[in-house]
Amino acid sequence: MAGGVKYPEVYLDMLSQPCRALHILLSFNKVPFTIRTVALRKGEQKTPEFTSLNPMQKVPVLVDNGFVLTESVAILKYLVTKYSLPEHWYPSQPERRAKVDEYISWHNTNTRPHTAKVFITEVLIPRMTGSAVDGLRVERALAELKDTLDMLESMFLKRQPFLCGDDITLADLLAVCELMQPLGGDRDVLSDRPKLQRWRSRVQSALGESFDDAHSVLYKLRDNFKSKL
């Protein structure tokens, strides 16, 4: 390591889906980095120090030797380029790259909010308020997710092994982390979708250890959830 240059710092909470995607990309590709934990459930993103780093009060945040970057998508693309990660993550051929960009753009307003809502209504809100689960809200969230999953299968996955073609890309990484989240409440949103299940298995295999490592906190949450039932 050149004198004075530090490993990039990544501000994370492993219960956050985009944080996991980032953690997986870095650890899978053996990019050295320093983790700075931000416990969202304790409101640590709202401290004055963190707010001056990121006024949006969100994770993940990358600090690379003074360069501060928010938004997981921007961070992932930055890292792919900076560390010359294998091409397949974010192909350079224009049409193939465009397909990844197309998914990522759609992901922000579909996969991410609709899957998160299931977890939020089923796990987060009851935890934070101490109230019982509002079954109706969960049902509505699942209904909206259904449309998203239909589109994921028919528009993106189709007959391909991965969302944007023959190889795993940033699209699969982002999508899988979102779709894992409801597992924290012991709900597998892909349980009746064999095609998407097979895709998830392919992604897990491709990512190896880094996948389960990143999801260990979520698995613990699920175990706690189950033991309370």
Partner 1 sequence: MALEIYLDLFSQPCRSVYIFAKKNNIPFEFKKISLLEGQQYGEDFGKINMMRKAPAIRDGDFCLAESVAIMQYLAEKFQTPAHWYPSDLQQRARVNEYLSWQHMAIRMHGSKIFWLRLLIPKIMGVEVPQDKMDGALEDLNGSLKLVEDKFLQDRPFIAGEQVSLADLVAIVEIMQPVGSGLDVFESRPRLAAWRERVRVAVGTELFDEAHKDILAAQEMVKNMDASKMQVFKPKILKLFL
Binding site for partner 1 (CB under 8 A): 55-56, 67, 69-75, 77-78, 81-82, 94-95, 97-99, 101-102, 104-106, 108-109, 112-113, 151, 154-155
Question: Quick one: angle between helices 170-180 and 17-28, nearest 10?
Answer: 130
Q: In the complex, what is the shortest distance from the CB of residue 94 to partner 1, in angstroms, rounded to a whole number?
A: 5
Q: Which is nearer to partner 1, 112 or 187 (CB)?
A: 112
| E strand or H helix that includes residue 97 | helix 94-109
Residues counted in the chain: 229
Q: Which is nearer to partner 1, 77 or 187 (CB)?
A: 77
Q: In the complex, what is the shortest distance from the CB of residue 185 to partner 1, in angstroms, rounded to a whole number?
A: 22
Q: Which amino acid is at 208?
A: G
Q: Which is nearer to partner 1, 40 or 217 (CB)?
A: 40
Q: Which is nearer to partner 1, 23 or 222 (CB)?
A: 23
Q: Are 67 and 10 in contact (CB under 8 A)?
A: no
Q: In the complex, what is the shortest distance from the CB of residue 188 to partner 1, in angstroms, rounded to a whole number?
A: 25
Q: Which is nearer to partner 1, 55 or 194 (CB)?
A: 55
**What span, in angstroms and rounded, lies between the C-alpha atoms of 191 and 164?**
22
Q: Extract the tokens encoding 212.
A: 């389960």
**What span, in angstroms and rounded, lies between the C-alpha atoms of 11 and 157?**
31
Q: Extract the tokens encoding 144.
A: 């909206």
Q: In the complex, what is the shortest distance from the CB of residue 205 to partner 1, in angstroms, rounded to a whole number?
A: 28
Q: In the complex, what is the shortest distance from the CB of residue 140 to partner 1, in angstroms, rounded to a whole number?
A: 8
Which residues are CB-contacts of 229 (< 8 A; sequence separation ≥ 6)? Answer: 186
